[in-house]
C-alpha cells in the first residue's frame, strides 16, 4: 500500500505541476491512470499531496539550499515531485531519522528508477542534514514570514496591509489545516427530523449552525460521507457554511424567477430550489460542459425539478432574451484566496496580474448580470476570495456606474462587516469563522 500511495502522490503532484489542475482532479486522474482503487491508499496519497503542496515554496527552498540555485526547476518533473514529498516527510513529516529517510529514498527509486533518480541522490543526504530554522535565520522579514507561513511573499505583504500583521499571521496559520466539513440537509426529500435521524443511524454526528436554516457541521462520521446511503439518496449536500450563507442571503421564495450565473457544479442551484420548495424557475448558466455533467448529476440526486441548464459564458451577452429575474446570483471565477486551505495549489499560481485579470472578468460579468434584474429585484455577488480588489472595490465601482442599484443588508449575519465602510456586506475568514474565506454583497434594483 505504501509504495502505491507514493506512486499516486508523485503522479498527482506531477499533474498539478504540469497541467495546472486542482489537487482533487489530479489525484482522480492519477488514480485512474495507475488503476489504484484502494481507499486507504488513495487517502494516504491525498494527505501526502495536500501537505506537500501547502508547503511547496519552503520545500523548494530547502531543496535549492541543499543543491544548486536552479536544481529544482531543472529536475525531471516527477523527480521534482518526489523531492518535494521526500523533503516534506524528512523535515516536517514522519521520516526525520536516517532509517525512514532511506526507506523513502528506496521507494522513490523503485517508482522512478535508478537512472532517473541518479542526479537527485546527492541532494537527498544533504536535505536530511538540514535544520529548517537555521536555513531561515538570515532572511529578511517578509521573505522569512513567507517561508514560515508557506505563502507567496507578495501575498504576505498584501495581507499585512489589508488585515494587519497579527491577524494576517492568524489567517495564514489557519490555512495549514482544512476547515470543518459542513453539510446542508435537503428538505426536498423528507423532513429535517427524519433526515437527522437517518444520518445518525449511519454514524454521522452533526452540530447545527445556528445562524443558518439547514446547515450542520459534521463532528463525526464512521465512513466517508459520500459512501453513505443518505448521500446517494440526496438527503444532504456537502457544502461549506459560507456558501450556504450566500444562498440564504439571496433569500429566494416559492414562485420566483432566479438566474444562477456560474452555476456548476450545482451547490447553490440545489439550495435555491430547496428554499423555493421546487416552485418557480431557476436558469442555471455555466460555460463548462464538463462541470454541467456534474451539475446534472447533482440536480437529479437532490430532487430538483425547477432548474434548467444553459451553456453560456456570463462574460459575454447571455442568450436568455429579455428575461427579468427576481434574483440574479453571481459567484464568478476568482483568485480563491479564501480557500487556500482546501486548494493550496492555487496560492502558487497567485500573482498581482492574476488579481487584476480576475477583476476584469468579474466586472464584465457583474455588468452583464445587472441587465437581467427586474425592478425591486436583487443581484447577489459572492467570491471565495479575501482581496479588496475582487470584493469591496468592485462593489464600490459598480454602485458608481449603476445609480439604479443600492447596497442592501446581507442577512443572515454570520461574518464580519465588509471593509471600506461596507457595513451591509459580509466577510468570512477561516481563522475566525471556521469556514472558507468568503465575501458576499446584496445589491437592490431600485423601483422607478
* Interval 318-377: pLDDT, tens: 999 999 999 999 999 999 999 999 999 999 999 999 999 999 999 999 999 999 999 999
What length is written for the chain?
448
Per-residue model confidence (pLDDT) at position 96: 67
20 φ, ψ (degrees, to nearest 5): 55, 45
Query: CA 265 to CA 239: how far, in whole Å?
Result: 11
Q: 209: buried, middle or exposed (CB in 10 Å: 19+, 13-18, 0-12)?
A: buried
**Domain-wise residue ranges, the chain:** 2-140, 141-174, 182-238, 250-445
- Which CATH architecture does the domain made up of 2-140 adopt? Orthogonal Bundle (1.10)
The residues that are catalytic are 384
pTM: 0.95
- 206: CB partners within 8 A, 6+ apart: 183, 196, 199, 200, 216, 217, 218, 219
Query: CA 269 to CA 303: how far, in whole Å?
Result: 11
- Which CATH architecture does the domain made up of 250-445 adopt? 3-Layer(aba) Sandwich (3.40)
3-class secondary-structure state, position 52 = helix
Name which CATH class applies to 182-238.
Answer: alpha beta
- 25: CB partners within 8 A, 6+ apart: 15
Where would I find the beta strands (DSSP E) of 186-292?
A: 204-208, 215-221, 236-238, 257-261, 281-286
Angle between helices 2-19 and 98-112 (to 10 degrees): 70
Query: Hey, what's the cell of 298?
Result: 447533482
- 342: CB partners within 8 A, 6+ apart: 178, 179, 436
Contact (Cβ atoms closer than 8 angstroms) between residue 270 and residue 296: no
Contact (Cβ atoms closer than 8 angstroms) between residue 342 and residue 436: yes
User: pLDDT tens track of the chain, all 448 residues?
Assistant: 799 999 999 999 999 999 999 999 999 999 999 999 998 999 999 999 999 999 999 999 999 999 988 999 999 999 999 999 999 999 987 756 788 899 999 999 999 999 999 999 999 999 999 998 899 998 999 999 999 999 999 999 999 999 999 999 999 999 998 899 999 999 999 999 999 999 999 999 999 999 999 999 999 999 999 999 999 999 999 999 999 999 999 999 999 999 999 999 999 999 999 999 999 999 999 999 989 999 999 999 999 999 999 999 999 989 999 999 999 999 999 999 999 999 999 999 999 999 999 999 999 999 999 999 999 999 999 999 999 999 999 999 999 999 999 999 999 999 999 999 999 999 999 999 999 999 999 999 998 6
pLDDT tens per residue across span 200-252: 999 999 999 999 999 999 999 999 999 999 999 999 999 999 999 999 999 99
- 304: CB partners within 8 A, 6+ apart: 188, 269, 270, 273, 274, 278, 282
Contact (Cβ atoms closer than 8 angstroms) between residue 73 and residue 61: no
Run of H or E residues at 78: helix 77-91
Query: Hey, what's the cell of 206?
Result: 452533526
Amino acid at each position: 500500500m505504501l509504495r502505491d500511495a507514493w506512486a499516486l502522490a508523485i503522479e498527482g503532484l506531477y499533474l498539478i505541476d504540469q497541467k495546472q489542475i486542482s489537487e482533487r482532479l489530479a489525484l482522480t486522474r492519477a488514480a485512474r491512470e495507475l488503476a489504484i482503487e484502494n481507499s486507504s491508499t488513495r487517502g494516504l496519497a491525498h494527505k501526502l499531496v495536500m501537505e506537500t503542496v501547502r508547503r511547496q515554496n519552503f520545500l523548494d527552498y530547502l531543496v535549492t539550499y541543499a543543491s544548486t540555485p536552479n536544481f529544482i526547476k531543472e529536475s525531471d518533473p516527477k523527480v521534482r515531485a518526489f523531492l518535494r514529498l521526500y523533503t516534506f516527510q524528512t523535515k516536517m513529516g514522519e521520516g526525520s531519522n536516517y532509517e525512514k529517510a532511506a526507506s523513502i529514498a528506496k521507494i522513490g527509486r523503485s517508482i522512478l528508477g535508478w537512472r532517473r533518480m541518479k542526479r537527485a541522490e546527492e541532494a537527498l543526504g544533504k536535505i536530511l542534514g538540514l535544520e529548517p530554522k537555521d536555513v531561515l535565520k538570515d532572511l529578511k522579514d517578509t521573505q522569512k514570514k513567507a517561508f514560515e507561513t508557506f505563502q507567496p511573499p507578495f501575498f504576505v505583504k498584501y495581507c499585512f496591509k489589508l488585515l494587519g500583521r497579527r491577524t494576517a499571521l492568524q489567517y495564514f496559520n489557519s490555512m495549514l489545516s482544512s476547515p470543518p466539513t459542513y453539510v446542508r440537509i435537503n428538505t426536498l426529500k423528507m423532513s429535517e427530523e427524519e433526515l437527522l435521524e437517518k444520518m445518525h443511524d449511519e454514524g454521522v454526528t452533526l452540530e447545527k449552525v445556528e445562524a443558518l436554516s439547514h446547515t450542520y457541521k459534521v463532528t463525526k462520521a464512521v465512513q466517508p460521507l459520500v459512501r453513505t446511503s443518505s448521500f446517494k439518496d440526496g438527503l444532504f449536500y456537502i457544502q461549506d457554511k459560507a456558501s450556504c450563507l450566500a444562498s440564504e442571503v439571496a433569500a429566494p421564495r416559492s414562485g420566483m424567477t432566479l438566474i444562477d450565473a456560474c452555476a456548476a457544479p450545482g451547490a447553490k442551484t440545489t439550495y435555491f430550489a430547496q428554499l423555493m420548495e421546487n416552485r418557480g424557475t431557476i436558469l442555471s448558466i455555466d460555460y463548462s460542459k464538463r462541470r454541467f455533467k456534474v451539475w446534472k448529476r447533482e440536480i437529479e440526486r437532490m430532487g430538483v425539478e425547477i432548474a434548467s441548464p444553459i451553456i453560456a459564458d456570463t462574460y459575454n451577452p447571455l442568450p436568455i432574451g429579455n428575461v427579468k429575474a427576481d434574483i440574479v446570483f453571481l459567484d464568478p471565477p476568482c483568485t480563491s484566496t479564501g480557500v487556500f486551505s482546501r486548494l493550496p495549489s492555487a496560492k502558487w499560481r497567485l500573482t498581482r496580474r492574476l488579481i487584476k485579470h480576475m477583476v476584469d472578468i468579474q466586472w464584465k460579468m457583474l455588468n452583464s448580470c445587472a441587465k437581467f434584474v427586474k425592478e425591486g429585484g436583487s443581484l447577489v455577488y459572492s467570491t471565495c476570495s479575501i482581496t479588496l480588489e475582487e470584493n469591496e472595490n468592485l462593489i464600490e465601482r459598480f454602485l458608481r456606474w449603476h445609480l439604479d442599484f443600492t447596497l442592501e443588508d446581507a442577512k443572515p449575519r454570520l461574518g464580519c462587516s465588509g471593509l471600506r465602510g461596507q457595513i451591509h456586506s459580509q466577510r468570512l475568514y477561516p481563522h475566525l469563522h471556521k469556514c472558507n474565506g468568503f465575501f458576499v454583497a446584496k445589491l437592490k434594483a431600485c423601483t422607478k
